[in-house]
Chains A and B, each alone.
Chain A
Amino acid sequence: MNFKLKIWRQPNQKTAGEFHDYAASNIPAEASFLEMLDIVNEGLAEGNEDPIAFDSDCREGICGMCSLVINGIPHGPGKAKTTCQLYMRRFQDGDTIWIEPFRAAPFPVVKDLVVDRSAFDRIIESGGYITARTGSAPEANSVPIGKPIADLAMEAAACIGCGACVAACPNSSAMLFVGAKVSHLGLLPQGQPERKSRAHNMVRAMDELGFGNCTNHYECEAVCPAEINRTFISRLNREYRKAAVREAVAVTVDE
């Protein structure tokens, strides 16, 4: 298969970028999208041109490292998959394909298609955990958790932290990402002691890092490779409201 590629090139964070044209020739239909880019990069290197920088690692859809906007859609066409799980047989021979980095103020472009998503780490550091000192845990079966709750927590926990939700949102909101973590931990009995401070701190961190608000477009849910459900955003709103009210009336101790 042959494709015309329009690829965003940007030497570094401080220099403006622009689209460049490339041809991808003789690409096997069985190749993945990133393997297509590998082939293009091999060709560039052979012609003594700087290869296109893009992030990827596991190439099986779980690590969350790959991050392209393909024809305007984070992770490209198709539901519930990362860029690395996109295969060229999905495209028509001769297609023109636009390839850009994730675009969001909290995710600055580092080079070409590589962005800095460390803001997500800062959000988790603000409260996306259960404090459980190593060695102090009780017997695992001492706290039963009903299967429906455990399953729902797992659905929320499936988030791979890729940031497509932010890239797809017109407001660059991280509500789906935060909603997933607040729900995962808040649904479980182990997560109760820190439940309110967690929701509060994570939302505050999200605001401070420059992520926008949710205005119910749900583009996030549409592109999410892990199929995180938008109802986790509603759950986050409820959790946050409770936490905010407590702050307003100056309740400082969880009970």
Chain B
Amino acid sequence: MNTQLDSKVPAGALEEKWTKHRAESKLVNPNNKRKFDIIVVGSGLAGASAAASLAEMGYGVKCFCFQDSPRRAHSIAAQGGINAAKNYQNDGDSVYRLFYDTIKGGDFRSREANVYRLAEVSANIIDQCVAQGVPFAREYGGLLANRSFGGAQVSRTFYARGQTGQQLLLGAYQALAQQIAVGGVKMFPRTELLDIVIVDGHAKGIVVRDLLSGEISSHAGDTVVLATGGYGNVFYLSTNARGCNVSATYRAYKRGAFFANPCYTQIHPTCIPVGGTYQSKLTLMSESLRNDGRVWVPKNKGDNRPPSQIPDSDRDYYLERKYPSFGNLAPRDIASRSAKEVCDEGRGVGPGGLGVYLDFAEAIGRLGEKTIRERYGNLFDIYHNITGEDAYHLPMRIYPAVHYTMGGLWVDYNLMSNVPGLHVLGEANFSDHGANRLGASALMQGLADGYFVIPSTIANYLATQLGKKVSVDRPEFNATENEVRKTVAKLLSIKGKRTATSFHRELGLLLWEKCGMARSRESLQEALQKIPSLREEFWQNLNLQGGDMELNQSLEQAGRVADFLEFAELMCLDALEREESCGGHFRVEYQTKEGEAVRDDADFCHVAAWQCTGTDSKPVRNVEPLVFENVKLATRSYK
């Protein structure tokens, strides 16, 4: 039976919703805040900012991360920048314009009110980060500098060299460290969530494994906040850190939380191409490079001349040709698909023909090498180190790679999932980016959720929970722990021949081919047929060394791969049932003659929120209609 999803979006004018909602939200008085324990899982931008802010307010916070320090969460790897509607450049930016760009960039598949709120608090984020000492780039006069980014015609991106994510995360981490020092937050590094504990229908705790000792234990809280990132690593190769996984959100899904739009995955257009099967990850070259780099391939198939010997007349600057007004700054999904097209036509460059050029010759001629070095020096260094090539004199070779996942656990306007007490922030939720995320918007969303949204909305739940504290003595904790122990024991007992990596790689390749940049009914049906047999083989033939009561990285990995093997099916099912093309979800059946995506607003202008009905039965597809009161649905055009 389908469930009604209540987004709890407040009534009233778009511009007034958030202000009104805050004014009408419940409050918890300071004496009572002390009595509440909040469990925050994840210490990236969303998790660290939430944990620090909630502790400052007086709540008791426990924060968990699997890395050896909260400072290492994968937000740290974001390079390019963070958007904010400050209009410092006097170029016509506004909250509404950032809102509209984000809605349009997401191909009209996100919730209006959430996106408007995101744009609204974006300016506060910059203030907050500057106050913490985040060293954003500045002009000579001492004021903050901006640059432009894909999918926008204004310069609203704040940056700290090519290390914006690092600097923002360190700001949040330092705020967290301060709260750890004063006892507001108790930090549990090297601790991995293995399950969520549901008591009387509410999320009231978690079961974790201490990755050093192997000990499995329970933690009870008044509410659980998941900020555990995205699931890009389901593809094995992605720009995500090795440890990124779907386990926390997937386990929540199995405990009743709805998983929304899992098929919305973002393929980033500018990554260093794949080298060989040994490869463990793909490295992103920031999108900001497209401000000055020009993307091209040879006009003719099989043109194997070195790039310097190919004259302009034999080059196809395909983004500039196809999208004259946005050119090389076309949004990510469009830029990625265009790269795939020219490579499929046999015009790709580099080993295997899976690459396109990103050329800085013109920019270096115009601005000088010094300026380019100042802007992108560290990116050019990374590229040189990995490929051995000097991009100041030779065009970079780039190719799309899995980078971000817009899908995630369904949440309402308060960022609470359909399971009462389970809040979800950052990339782990689905709410703000629709079917495609714009560059420099992930950092914005993570920090918006953690610094400004959850501190205001969490009381709406907690105020209903006074006097309802549960402890780990409740039988639900023991029962969940036992299930977790059983799974760990089962993984260790298989004693088969293939390592978790080998299964993960096979799964990833299958998804990249069948559920990657282009998807079809046939390819998805094929994937849906193959995944269960791969999963079956995993549970019969997994080679897992070592024991459970020690640091065992193979065991950690096996648990994550086991979840990916189930989640992959959900992703493909969602892709199959969304019979339209939108943003990062491109179904070959639904395109124009020119190869542009064709949305179906009559039938698919909604969020698909999947409900688990057991491991072996088909999940239920619940629907939240997307109501656009302020924006007119249009065909996205970047021409």
Q: A: which residues have CB within 8 A of B?
A: 11-12, 27-28, 30-32, 34-35, 38-39, 42, 44-46, 48-51, 53, 55-65, 80-81, 85, 87, 89, 110-111, 114, 116-118, 120-121, 124-126, 128-141, 143-147, 150, 153-154, 157-158, 160-161, 184-185, 188, 190-191
Q: Which residues of B contact A150 (CB under 8 A)?
A: 135-138, 142
Bound together, the chains give a CA A51 to CA B109 distance in angstroms of: 45
Q: Which residues of B contact A55 (CB under 8 A)?
A: 68
B445 contacts A by Cβ under 8 Å: no
Known contacts A111-B550, A134-B56, A147-B139; decide if A58 and B77 are in contact (CB<8 Å): yes
Interface positions, chain B 531-550, Cβ under 8 Å from A, are: 543-546, 550
The listed residue with most A CB atoms (<10 A of its CB), out of B129, B139, B241, B502, is: B241
Known contacts A42-B501, A134-B53, A190-B130; decide if A58 and B76 are in contact (CB<8 Å): yes
Choose one: A32, A118, A184; the contact of B68 (CB below 8 Å).
Answer: A118
A60 and B382 form a contact (CB under 8 A): yes
Q: Which residues of A contact B189 (CB under 8 A)?
A: 118, 121
Q: State the Cβ distance, B225 to closest chain A Cβ, in Å.
A: 15
A58 and B74 form a contact (CB under 8 A): yes
Q: Is the interface of A mostly helix, strand, loop or mixed?
A: loop
Known contacts A60-B283, A65-B68, A124-B177; decide if A138 and B127 are in contact (CB<8 Å): yes
B187 and chain A: residue at smallest CB distance: A121
Would you give 9 A-B contacts (Cβ < 8 Å), ordered by A?
A: A35-B280, A42-B499, A51-B546, A58-B74, A121-B70, A154-B135, A154-B137, A154-B160, A161-B69
B77 and A63 form a contact (CB under 8 A): yes
Q: Which residues of A contact B49 (CB under 8 A)?
A: 134
Bound together, the chains give a CA A112 to CA B611 distance in angstroms of: 42
B186 contacts A by Cβ under 8 Å: no
Q: State the Cβ distance, A162 to closest chain B Cβ, in Å.
A: 10
A126 and B181 form a contact (CB under 8 A): yes
Q: Which residues of B contact A48 (CB under 8 A)?
A: 543, 545
Bound together, the chains give a CA A184 to CA B134 distance in angstroms of: 9
Q: Which residues of A contact B382 (CB under 8 A)?
A: 60-61, 85
B92 contacts A by Cβ under 8 Å: no
* Number of B residues with CB within 8 Å of any CB on chain A: 82
Q: Which residues of B contact A185 (CB under 8 A)?
A: 133
Known contacts A32-B280, A129-B178, A157-B135; decide if A117 and B69 are in contact (CB<8 Å): yes
Q: State the Cβ distance, B447 to closest chain A Cβ, in Å.
A: 10
Bound together, the chains give a CA A254 to CA B386 distance in angstroms of: 48
Q: State the Cβ distance, A202 to closest chain B Cβ, in Å.
A: 11
Interface positions, chain B 356-395, Cβ under 8 Å from A, are: 381-382, 385-386, 388
Q: Which residues of B contact A34 (CB under 8 A)?
A: 280
Cβ proximity bits B138-155 to A, threshold 8 Å, 1 near / 0 not: 111111100000000000
Interface positions, chain B 160-199, Cβ under 8 Å from A, are: 160-161, 163, 165-167, 170, 173-175, 177-178, 180-181, 187, 189
A12 and B131 form a contact (CB under 8 A): no
B451 contacts A by Cβ under 8 Å: yes
Q: Which residues of A contact B175 (CB under 8 A)?
A: 129, 132, 134
A59 and B452 form a contact (CB under 8 A): no
Q: Which residues of A contact B72 (CB under 8 A)?
A: 57-58, 63-65, 161
A134 and B451 form a contact (CB under 8 A): yes
Bound together, the chains give a CA A120 to CA B67 distance in angstroms of: 14
A185 and chain B: residue at smallest CB distance: B133
A158 and B163 form a contact (CB under 8 A): yes
Bound together, the chains give a CA A239 to CA B545 distance in angstroms of: 51
Known contacts A58-B77, A135-B452; decide if A184 and B135 are in contact (CB<8 Å): yes
A51 and B554 form a contact (CB under 8 A): yes
Choose one: A53, A63, A134; the contact of B128 (CB below 8 Å).
Answer: A134
Q: Which residues of A contact B141 (CB under 8 A)?
A: 144
Interface positions, chain B 541-577, Cβ under 8 Å from A, are: 543-546, 550-551, 553-554
Known contacts A31-B278, A55-B68, A65-B72; decide if A125 and B551 are in contact (CB<8 Å): no
Q: State the Cβ distance, B453 to closest chain A Cβ, in Å.
A: 11
Q: Which residues of B contact A44 (CB under 8 A)?
A: 545
B86 contacts A by Cβ under 8 Å: yes
Bound together, the chains give a CA A50 to CA B552 distance in angstroms of: 9
The list of the 3 closest CB pairs from A to B, nearest first, reads A144-B142, A129-B174, A137-B131
B132 and A190 form a contact (CB under 8 A): yes
Q: State the Cβ distance, B77 to closest chain A Cβ, in Å.
A: 5
A128 and chain B: residue at smallest CB distance: B174
Q: State the Cβ distance, B340 to closest chain A Cβ, in Å.
A: 23
Q: Told that A28-B278, A139-B127 touch, could you supply 19 new A-B pairs with CB distance under 8 A?
A: A12-B551, A35-B278, A39-B278, A45-B545, A56-B242, A57-B67, A57-B242, A59-B241, A59-B283, A60-B77, A62-B163, A129-B174, A140-B86, A140-B129, A140-B130, A144-B138, A144-B143, A146-B140, A147-B140
B280 and chain A: residue at smallest CB distance: A35
Q: Which residues of A contact B68 (CB under 8 A)?
A: 55, 65, 116-118
Q: State the Cβ distance, A240 to closest chain B Cβ, in Å.
A: 19
B275 contacts A by Cβ under 8 Å: yes
B275 and A30 form a contact (CB under 8 A): yes
Choose one: A42, A128, A138; the contact of B131 (CB below 8 Å).
Answer: A138
Bound together, the chains give a CA A63 to CA B241 distance in angstroms of: 9
The listed residue with most B CB atoms (<10 A of its CB), out of A120, A157, A184, is: A157
Q: Which residues of A contact B628 (CB under 8 A)?
A: none
Bound together, the chains give a CA A135 to CA B455 distance in angstroms of: 10
Choose one: A59, A153, A161, A191; the contact of B280 (CB below 8 Å).
Answer: A59
B299 contacts A by Cβ under 8 Å: no
Bound together, the chains give a CA A70 to CA B152 distance in angstroms of: 45
